Amino acid sequence: MSKRFLPSLCVSAIMLAGGAQAEVPKASTVPPATTGEGHADAPLWAVTPHPGNGKGAFATGHYRNLFAERLGHSSAEVHAKVEAAFQQLFHGDGQEQRVYFETGANANGELGYVTDWANNDVRTEGMSYGMMIAVQLGKKREFDALWNWSKTYMQTTDPKSPEYGYFAWSMNTDGTPRATGAAPDGEEYYVMALMFAAHRWGNGKGIYNYQAEADKILKGMRHRAVMTATTPLRIHPGDAPFVYPDTPWPSPNSRAQEAAAKAAGKPWPPYHFDNKPRSVTVGPMVDDAHYMIRFVPETEVPGTDASYHLPGFYELWARWGPREDRAFWARAADVSRDFFPKVVGPKTGLSPDRSHFDASTMMTRDGQPDPFGYDSWRTVSNWSVDFNWWGKDPRETELADRVQGFLYGQGIDTFADRYTLDGQPLSDRHSAGMVAAAAVGSLAATPGPVSDAFVKALWDMPVPSGEQRYFDGMLYLFSLMHVSGEYRVIEAKRK
């Protein structure tokens, strides 16, 4: 969950506000997954799974290096670029370059976090992304430090909390909470990074038994009991009850937003969170009836987020996850593949941040259709990585062509970072992270001048720095790794 330019108070309000919502089918009214044949008019739960290992890199062992294929760079030159980006974002200048910081140690070892510098917080999104980067590049110290910080501060251990077992999506850098709710994209990346760590380094003891930790999270995502409690809630049993402050936490973004509001004669803050006690019910992170990841596990908040759909990961969970859930994740991979073309703009290929499970439009609090926003940058990358790893769905090529063609037509060096789904710009900012994620689309797109232009734009881009370096930087490094072939399925070592 990014929402990176919004004050934290407003983020929480958005998570809790449903807006004008369409009726969502109850689980009891949804046909079982064994029905239907997955044709164009079939409901999402009725798709037919694609069998086998597909035609992608998982089957062939060949991970494409588009910087070599399209631009002629040597493997050594490409690897050096990836390593330099890692070093800058993880170990560069603390004021302008790095997002990773180490903060001492506890009984489990070193502690480290990835921070959204502009919002001055730590997010499960960034922590799990950092772990994925570290395991892919063989950086065990950083991986373990991030996992230790996540377990120590972010995982809810208060058994009275309805979020019990989940990871709070946003924390202060001192480990105190900014929210008690969870965002499923963080859990998804934790699971996949931990599985890869088990395969790369083997399992250790305690929290470093990576496979056991991954299985525990993955089981909880689907099977965790529905729990209800009254706010305020706690992350850990000894914590003070969490309440939202009257004004957003100090950060570069909140200070800039306050100055802009005052200059425009608008009230600040724009929204005051209601800390009155309320009942909160939290259930699984997946909707079993629709085989989809939820936007949040709070039952009163409906729908899904297309950028949370990771069919490339689900295929692996169908092979490596808890046995009783493997058929579910195999089905979920195909449901996500069928969901992508239904939820995106028919002319632009742009996806909304949120939608209903049937891919119908979800309205924002101000009554407008949910737009292509910051979370949405990742969706093209998700289906393109799936295509690269598995090669099971040719529609992903058409979708990548559509997104890249639209953005190229807007000006590859100038396109906006937010749009309506039909292509009306909603910002005047050109964001490095969005360019980088769109470049991953070249793994699925038809080869040619448009897809090559995105590969070149990624290669020519400097490592993001300054206040907005967190989300831009994480997506930049992820994208470098994907496009260079250095982001791979890490399989268990054969004995």
Non-local (6+) Cβ contacts of 337 within 8 A are 47, 311, 383, 386, 392, 393, 395, 396
Name the phi and psi angles at 407, rounded to 5: -65, -40
Q: Show the low-confidence residues of the chain (pLDDT under 70).
A: 1-51, 494-495
Non-local (6+) Cβ contacts of 110 within 8 A are 102, 104, 141, 144, 145, 148
CA dist 422 and 381 (Å) reads: 20
Convert 155-192 to b/e letters by CB count within 10 Å (16 or more is b): bbebeebbbbbbbbbbbebebebbbbbbbbbbbbbbbb
The length of the chain in residues reads 495
CA 196 to chain centre: 17
- pLDDT at res. 365: 86
**408 and 417 Cβ atoms separated by less than 8 Å:** no
Nearest to 302 by CA among 341, 360, 349: 360
CA dist 357 and 156 (Å) reads: 27
- For 339-375, how does the pLDDT look when each residue is reduced to its tens digit (9 = 90+)? 999 999 999 999 999 999 999 999 998 899 999 999 9
Identity of residue 246: D
∠ CA 62-64-69 to the nearest 5 degrees? 130
Whether 121 sits among the annotated catalytic residues: the reply is no
- For 170-189, how does the pLDDT look when each residue is reduced to its tens digit (9 = 90+)? 999 999 999 999 999 999 99
What own/partner pairs with CB < 8 Å and gap ≥ 24 does 427-432 have?
Answer: 431/377, 431/468, 431/472, 432/461, 432/464, 432/472, 432/475, 432/476
CA end-to-end span of the chain? 39
Helix (H, G, I), strand (E, B) or coil at 288: coil
- pLDDT at res. 4: 45
Nearest to 129 by CA among 193, 202, 172: 193
Residue found by looking up tokens 């070892």 in the block: 109
Among 125, 338, 370, 486, the one annotated catalytic: 125
CA dist 495 and 485 (Å) reads: 25
**405 and 57 Cβ atoms separated by less than 8 Å:** no
Among 116, 185, 375, 393, the one annotated catalytic: 375
- Integer angstrom CA distances of residue 427 from 343, 408, 431, 481: 22, 17, 10, 28
Whether 375 sits among the annotated catalytic residues: the reply is yes
Cis ω before 232 (30° cut-off from 0) = yes
Please compute, for residue 332, the number of CA atoms within 13 A of its CA located in the half-sphere on the CB side: 28
- pLDDT at res. 204: 98
∠ CA 284-364-11 to the nearest 5 degrees? 65
Identity of residue 342: K
- pLDDT at res. 216: 98
CA dist 424 and 438 (Å) reads: 18
Q: With residue 116 as reference, give the H or E element that holds it.
A: strand 109-116
Q: With residue 230 as reference, give the H or E element that holds it.
A: strand 227-230
Name the phi and psi angles at 102, rounded to 5: -100, 145
Identity of residue 369: P
Domains present along the chain, CATH in parentheses: 1-14+99-301 (1.50.10.10), 49-98+321-488 (1.50.10.10)
